[in-house]
Structure 1
Amino acid sequence: MSPLSSRHIVLARHIPGRPEPEHFRLEPVEVGEPGEGELRVRTLFASVDPGTLSRLGGVDSYAPAVKLGEVIGSAAVGEVLDSRDARYAVGDVVAGGWGWREHAVVSAKGLRKVERGAESLSAELGVLGIPGLTAYFGILELGRPKEGETVLVSSAAGAVGSVAGQIAKRQGARVVGIAGGAEKCRWVKDALGFDAVIDYRSETDLGAAIRRECPRGVDVYLDNVGGTMLDTTLACMALRGRVVVSGLVADYGVPPEQRAGLKNTPFLIIQRLRMEGFVVLDYFARFGEARVALRGWLQDGTLKHREHVAEGLESAPALFAGLFRGENFGRAVVRVG
């Protein structure tokens, strides 16, 4: 074994607002040999996640801030090139969190072996990865819709929202999505089977649109956006409704003093609402259970998903910046190798 010439992407400048490709830097690097208990992997796919922005402004959030010159973290799937761990052999495919790198030496701890199946390996970063798991636990553990209740899902064409709505339908709920643009709305309704979809870009009064499509109120709101959309929905909730906050993309990269904030908090009392945020890693011990269910639904054709795949590691910064302009359609991933 000898060092490999490779490349990785690091943070070049802290990002005070919305990201642009120049905030990142592509660097050459030599990747050495693995030590005991380590693997050397070739990255096949890397995820591009909007939530990463909360760590790129130089301030700690639910995870430590990324320092200048550090590699951008993300979930990744790769092929084992060299192994110093008896559980993994050359040619195995593994999933982990080594980030935006073409090659990496990683500890075998925390990795999981991925079986090559009918679905693309990139599905391990989306419907079978953190987004799918977030949807699974957000709906089944926190939202807990009952048959006949109304579930509203923001960013319904996204990686979390699209799966969450389909899981809610499995529970017998009436599901309404919010998405941006006619193409995304058609896909959510026609391909995913949502009962109704609201195009927030074409509505002049989002609250009126929610009340139109949810005439009995919203029993469960799975929120991926925050900001004005969350505030508007609070005024449309049904008695004893549940608001599950899994993402706040409207607030990422926005200074606190410029965020829309919440004005409709009286409805928390008036409608006896429960609003709860969560980090899916809290359910780590049950990830295996969730993946078995999600994979089964994929294989029987009752769970559908969509990916937005960019080619080459160097495309990751532009794809990341585009997330905040709504340019992606489906789970954003980069095909690295």
Structure 2
Amino acid sequence: MLARHLVRRLAQAVVVVLGVVVVSFLVARAVPGDAAVSATGARASASELAAARERLGLDQPLPVQLFRYLGDLVRGDLGTSLHTRQPVASDLGSALPASLELVGAAMLLAVLLGIPLGVLAARFRGGRAGGVDVSVRVGSVLAVSAPVFLLALVLQLVFATRLGWFPTAGEYDRALDSTSPLSVWTDITVVDALITGNWAMVGSVLHHLVLPALALAAYPTGVIAQMTRAALLEEAAQDHARMERALGFGRLAVLVRFSLRAASAPVLQLVALVFAYALVNSFLVESIFNWPGLGSYTATAISSVDTPAIAGVTLTVALVYVVLNLAVDLAQTALDPRVRLT
């Protein structure tokens, strides 16, 4: 049963990835502009443009271009960026770790804040302490509704520019490149600093992470808190919860010890969804805080009609989403064997 469940989920993931590949290819071709002009320059002659279109395969019918693109992907070739003149896979390998570092920190904050807030809201729903529930719900709505770029600008203006508590921009203090150079293992700066015991770099990265991570964590925190509250209240209405209360367990104990695990399946699924959403939102946050991730790379690719880079970024985000959903599905299966029957 478990093996069949895993095979079914893997097959679904493959179909999703294939669909994303086709859509990303078509979207990249639909971007206004001429990729041949981007590759040769605005002053290129007609013969140079024709040669560029032939080299890029743009002179072929769209189905032929698609099959050629699929063949390149099977070989692990995402193409060559028209802007950087480097392989897109290499560019993504340099930019993606910084984005994952930022999004990972934001999601860690969102989970550490959102789940306890959801538990509190469910525990104090109604009664004299109902103000806690109302406060959490209102705060969640505000966190979900606030535009991420506006929140990032406000945090930067107040806590970096006015108060000077945190750096305005950057991933870490560049002076550390001379005084405490970093040994690269994973290309994720904070992880490499922890592995090598470079505590000066760890402190600097964490200091620079606070504001962009908070801005990016607002939406996931609100959504996770709301989902946790709803799932817990649904579980609290089940027969097993009433039996546990009858056995003398308090309301908070029933929620945390018995209901939270059963309610974790929809919360885990939501975490995977908002991670992908946060990865896209990180592009705006990275631009505001000058964070060296996918944001600036994607903005440059769009402005320069760099179709291989646009398709590569789209495919990368989709793959992150699919892998996370598959991992969450496996975690749900381990937590609740009933999932295997769905």
Q: One fold, TM greater than 0.5?
A: no
TM class, shorter-length: under 0.3
TM-score (norm 1): 0.23
By percentage of residues, which structure has more strand? 1
Structure ID, larger Rg: 2
Q: State the TM-score, normalizing by the size of structure 2.
A: 0.23
